[in-house]
């Protein structure tokens, strides 16, 4: 399996050496990012898209594909996704199916995308409210994480990325977890302190991905909080509620921690500790849906096998495990 080059830098100029020798580059750009960074986009050929979970669909893929055909894009292009996780997911999915596959790379502009969506080779779109139910495993040529983009990111979006950052450290790095909680609880000098945390997070995730690319073993740990989060997001979409992916993940991690305690996997008090830490950083720790609503959404989870779902349970900060449980047992 090829390895993806992942770089973290404060300067966007550093991306140019990664593009040398790649041939024709066509960028798929989040329209909002394009408006803010029009002069900095490293190619003149651009396809602008609107974003939002409701637009992460085959219709958007069809729009991008149609534009590529109009531009007479052949199989030697490199498709460069510039934007948040929705943009990189759509770009990777489109690239992996356009003319049976073309090269692609990512320039993620949100913390959430930098530490999660743009790393790992999972690309997908939603269908009928189910997240990433259509997707591919395909690695980008490179992922370039520029922290300069984070300076214009609203606090709510930064917190969405923090949820994934803390998730990664709960899985594999207790010290980095404490560092991240301190950094965001203090709220000062985040731009200076975030680079080593991003480097640690992408290092953890890329290592797991290299060992289990097709998500059959260790990689499942990266789903910590996500089984619950996807159910929360589906219910939110049905009720037209504004709950972001990161907010759903934060609430999902709290649910996973409480499930871990109830099943005797985690020590008592762990869920309360994580809840306090999340609250101190500004992350949400709850959701508005009944157990019945979440149960219905969980039954259609793509990872379900019969009456069982593989949940990621927390043994302690820095250590998690995969636990198959009946769906009804998981709704607390």
Give the pLDDT confidence of 159-194 residue by residue, as tens digits: 999 999 999 999 999 999 999 999 999 887 787 789
What mean pLDDT is predicted for residues 316-324?
A: 95
Range in 26-30, 108-112, 167-171, 183-187 the model is least confident about: 183-187
> Domain boundary at 152, 187, 202, which?
152
The Cα–Cα gap between 307 and 323 comes to 13
The percentage of the chain sitting over the pLDDT mark of 70, rounded to a whole number, equals: 98
Residues 52, 120: one domain? yes
Give residue 328's pLDDT: 76
Residues 65, 208: one domain? no
Give residue 135's pLDDT: 94
Residues 161, 94: one domain? no
Residues 194, 79: one domain? no
Residues 68, 205: one domain? no
Give residue 330's pLDDT: 72
Give residue 168's pLDDT: 98
What mean pLDDT is predicted for residues 136-160?
A: 93
Which residue bears the tokens 């140019």? 16
Residues 189, 41: one domain? no
Residues 262, 208: one domain? yes
Can you give the residue range of the structural domain that contains 86?
Answer: 5-152
State how many domains the chain has. Answer: 2
Residues 35, 169: one domain? no
């Amino acid at each position: 399996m090829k390895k993806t080059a992942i770089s973290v830098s404060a300067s966007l100029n550093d991306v140019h050496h990664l593009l040398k020798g790649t041939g024709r580059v066509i960028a798929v750009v989040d329209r909002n990012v394009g408006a803010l960074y029009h002069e900095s986009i490293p190619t003149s050929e651009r396809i602008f898209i609107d974003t939002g979970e409701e637009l992460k669909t085959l219709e958007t893929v069809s729009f991008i594909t149609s534009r590529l055909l109009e531009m007479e894009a052949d199989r030697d292009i490199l498709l460069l996704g510039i934007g948040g996780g929705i943009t990189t997911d759509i770009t990777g999915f489109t690239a992996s199916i356009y003319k049976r596959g073309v090269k692609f790379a990512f320039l993620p502009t949100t913390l959430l995308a930098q530490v999660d969506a743009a790393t790992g080779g999972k690309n997908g779109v939603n269908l009928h409210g189910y997240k990433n139910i259509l997707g591919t495993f395909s690695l980008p040529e490179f992922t370039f994480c520029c922290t300069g983009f984070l300076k214009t990111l609203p606090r709510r979006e930064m917190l969405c990325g923090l949820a994934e950052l803390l998730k990664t450290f709960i899985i594999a790095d207790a010290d980095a977890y404490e560092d991240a909680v301190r950094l965001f609880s203090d709220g000062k000098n985040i731009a200076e302190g975030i680079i080593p945390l991003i480097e640690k997070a992408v290092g953890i995730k890329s290592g797991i991905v290299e060992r289990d690319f097709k998500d059959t073993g260790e990689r499942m740990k990266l789903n910590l909080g996500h089984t619950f989060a996807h159910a929360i997001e589906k219910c939110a979409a049905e009720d037209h509620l504004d709950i972001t992916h990161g907010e759903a993940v934060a609430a999902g991690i709290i649910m996973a921690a409480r499930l871990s305690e109830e099943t005797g996997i985690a020590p008592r008090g762990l869920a309360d500790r994580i809840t306090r830490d999340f609250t101190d950083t500004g992350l949400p720790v709850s959701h508005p849906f009944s157990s019945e609503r979440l149960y219905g959404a969980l039954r259609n989870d793509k990872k379900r096998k019969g009456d069982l779902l593989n949940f990621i349970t927390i043994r302690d900060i820095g250590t998690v495990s995969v636990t198959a449980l009946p769906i009804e047992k998981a709704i607390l």
